[in-house]
Amino acid sequence: MIVKTEADLEGLKRISKVVANCLQYMARVMEPGMTTKELDNLGGKYLELHGARSGPMLVYNFPGYTCISLNHEVAHGVPSDKKIKAGDLINIDVSAELGGYYSDNGGSFIVPPQKEENVRLLDATKKALNAAIAAVKAKELINVIGLNVEKVAKEYGYTIIENLGSHGVGKSLHEEPTFIAGYYDKKDKRVLKEGQVITIEPFLSTGARIVDEEPDNWTLVSGKEFRSAQFEHTMVVLKDRALVLTIPDPL
């Protein structure tokens, strides 16, 4: 989507605030012993309370309001009767629609007690996201996003999940550009356009490079010996910077 009117921008800001606040709400209320389905239902009720509809449920008939992935699960985890345990690494991805506009926000969290190796992985992934966002501006090559993610991953000694990437968003959940690599792809000559709405969502891992689909046809996993993290924002490409939309209200 290209933002063309003030109404477009306001619509995107509205749904972006809802998904950002929903993500932080779910991170606050999760606790050991809770199932991922129970956590997902809380997220679904939050979206409904604010007039929003689950993006994956609406667009793909996904069997959950949000995607919740535990430990070696990397993305698109289906909410289920799996119990959240102390020390788990959990990823929550919230995307939703309101008034014809979509926004997408995700983050990885550690269920206390925190393990130092997980803290380091999350810190690096946040740093990679921020480095990629800092490079965004109109007329810049799209591959600068993956370039900056790759620099941070190498600095920390992590791998990048290569078959997951960022994407366009706005009037639908996934739009052009449909795949923005999280690594440097020198062959990608596409250029960012002013007003374009995109996500950036790096996936850093302790060793995995590819994820595989589970028999549920949704959940994407690495080897059980690996851990991965993801952080995601939705933004509008401006002439000289990115306008990040998925900023939650202060607590």
Note if the bond before 113 is cis, omega within 30 degrees. yes
- Residue 208 has a pLDDT of 98
Q: pTM of the predicted model, to two decimals?
A: 0.96
DSSP symbols for the chain: -B--SHHHHHHHHHHHHHHHHHHHHHHHH--TT-BHHHHHHHHHHHHHHTT-EEHHHHHH--SSSSEEEETTEEE-PPP-SPBP-TT-EEEEEEEEEETTEEEEEEEEEEPSSPPHHHHHHHHHHHHHHHHHHHT--TTSBTHHHHHHHHHHHHHHT-EE-TT-EEEE-SSSSSEEEEEEESS--TT---B--TTBEEEE--EEESS----EE-TTSS-EE--TT--EEE-BEEEEE-SSSEEE---PPP-
214 burial class (0-12, 13-18, 19+ CB within 10 angstroms)?
Answer: middle
Length of the chain in terms of residues written = 251
- In DSSP terms, 233 is beta-bridged to 200
**Residue 62 corresponds to which amino acid?**
F
- Residue 251 has a pLDDT of 79
Per-residue pLDDT of the chain (251 residues; tens, 9 = 90+): 999 999 999 999 999 999 999 999 999 999 999 999 999 999 999 999 999 999 999 999 999 999 999 999 999 999 999 999 999 999 999 999 999 999 999 999 999 999 999 999 999 999 999 999 999 999 999 999 999 999 999 999 999 999 999 999 999 999 999 999 999 999 999 999 999 999 999 999 999 999 999 999 999 999 999 999 999 999 999 999 999 999 999 97
Domains assigned to the chain: 6-244 (3.90.230.10)
